[in-house]
């Protein structure tokens, strides 16, 4: 059997699934996907960005393994400090389903300027609430809402979260809701 693979730019407000809660928006609204399609990993309803889809369970396991980097751009509340970046780089304690967890070391850096993402469908907030900044966080693990919990743990809650890269695959010019079939993921 030949497997099929897709890239999608998951927009804000959609679940990373094809079935489930009737009133929630799901990925199947964007394309007529083949039977057996699954999202590799997840992006929560409030997050956006690159999501890989496949009909190959082995490929899904490989990508979700700790061997593949996932990079996120997070817009955070306030001007992120060097100390906060260092904390995230060395690991911070977060709660996962009521259990304390120390995140693995990761790459975290301040972005010099805001990424050129189109405005989100729901406004983040007004400038009168103070400054924001953008950080890049690259993980090899993927705990439940991990990036959001990490930035909050160091005092800079996430306002907007966009996955921009999985391994060597970049979000690039994929528009929100756009689906692109690829022959393989090249991983």
Which domains are delineated in the chain?
Answer: 5-65+170-178 (3.30.70.580), 70-166 (3.30.70.1560)
Lowest mean pLDDT among 84-88, 122-126, 183-187: 122-126
pLDDT at 93: 95
Write down the catalytic residue from 44, 46, 56, 127: 44
Does the annotation count 184 as an active-site position? no
Q: What CA–CA distances, in Å, run from 69 to 75, 82, 104, 163, 180?
A: 20, 22, 12, 11, 21
Q: pLDDT for 137-147, tens place per residue? A: 999 888 889 99
pLDDT at 126: 64
Pairwise CA distance, residues 108 & 87, whole Å: 9
Q: Is the pTM of this model over 0.95?
A: no
């Amino acid at each position: 059997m030949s497997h099929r693979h897709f890239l999608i730019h998951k927009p804000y407000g959609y679940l990373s699934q094809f079935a489930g809660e009737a009133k929630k928006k799901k990925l199947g609204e964007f394309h007529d996907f083949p039977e057996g399609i699954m999202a590799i990993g997840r992006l929560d309803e409030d997050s956006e960005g690159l999501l890989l889809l496949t009909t190959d369970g082995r490929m899904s396991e490989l990508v979700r393994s700790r061997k593949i980097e996932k990079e996120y751009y997070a817009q955070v509340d306030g001007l992120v400090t060097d100390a906060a970046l260092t904390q995230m780089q060395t690991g911070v304690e977060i709660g996962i389903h009521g259990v304390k967890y120390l995140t693995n070391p990761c790459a975290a850096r301040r972005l010099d300027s805001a990424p050129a993402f189109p405005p989100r469908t729901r406004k983040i907030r007004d400038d009168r609430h103070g400054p924001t900044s953008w950080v890049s966080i690259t993980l090899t693990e993927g705990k439940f809402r991990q990036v959001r919990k990490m930035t909050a743990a160091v005092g800079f809650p996430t306002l907007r979260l966009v996955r921009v890269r999985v391994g060597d695959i970049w979000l690039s010019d994929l528009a929100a809701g756009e689906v692109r079939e690829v022959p393989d993921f090249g991983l």
